[in-house]
Chains A and B, each alone.
Chain A
Amino acid sequence: SQKIEQNSEALNIQEGKTATLTCNYTNYSPAYLQWYRQDPGRGPVFLLLIRENEKEKRKERLKVTFDTTLKQSLFHITASQPADSATYLCFSSGGYNKLIFGAGTRLAVHP
């Protein structure tokens, strides 16, 4: 079945460094991938969308890549700040009736 997998282990980095989060998909070829940010006890917030024919998308300090060969999307936060600490979710559609969120990766940025 279609799956989206994200690293379940928390990512701890120092302030100012670049955080890189991974989203791998299996058993399907999504037309797009979206990234959301979720803070504890709150609803996810949309960050970026990247289509399968786009290699890279940027928005301020955020960058997303989409590699259809590796079946992977990478999400980068440059010059990270403690305020970036949150859980980041990957999302896509696996076809009709199949909306899939990854389990998310928790990012902790330390001062």
Chain B
Amino acid sequence: DSGVTQTPKHLITATGQRVTLRCSPRSGDLSVYWYQQSLDQGLQFLIQYYNGEERAKGNILERFSAQQFPDLHSELNLSSLELGDSALYFCASSAQQGSYNEQFFGPGTRLTVL
């Protein structure tokens, strides 16, 4: 158990809908990362927050947004969902902001868009 929690575990929704994925980092970790993993793409970095501020942004679509709250939990919002958004979404946390630091991954949220 990495100490990172993600909810929900599974999410099934329809195209055009909006969903919110939630992540609680390990106790004491200030950095949260979001990744998307689909079968043909591998793990793709979406965005990183550090202590409530956006730190780095990867190939995150404009339909996706995220935030980190004062209690350090983070939410990833996906809107106008398309079939291609079906994937495993992982959250990871680390103690500091540099990507050099070991990342602890949550169990993931499996999103299915029908």
Chain A residues engaging chain B, CB cutoff 8 angstroms: 31-32, 34, 41-46, 49, 89, 93, 96-104
Contacts and interface: CB of A to CB of B under 8 A. Distances in A.
Given A43-B2, A98-B58, A99-B33, A89 B43 contact: yes
Given A45-B2, A98-B58, A31 B106 contact: no
A99 B56 contact: yes
Contacts of A34: 102
Given A43-B2, A43-B90, A97 B57 contact: yes
Given A97-B57, A99-B48, A46 B103 contact: yes
A41 B109 CA distance: 10
A15 to B, nearest CB: 28
Interface of B: 2, 4, 33, 35, 42-45, 48, 56-58, 88, 90, 92, 99-100, 102-108, 110
Given A97-B56, A99-B33, A101-B45, 6 more contacts: A41-B108, A42-B108, A43-B105, A44-B43, A46-B102, A98-B45
Nearest to B110: A41
B99 A46 contact: no
B58 A97 contact: yes
Contacts of A104: 42
A46 B3 CA distance: 14
A46 B104 contact: yes
A102 to B, nearest CB: 7
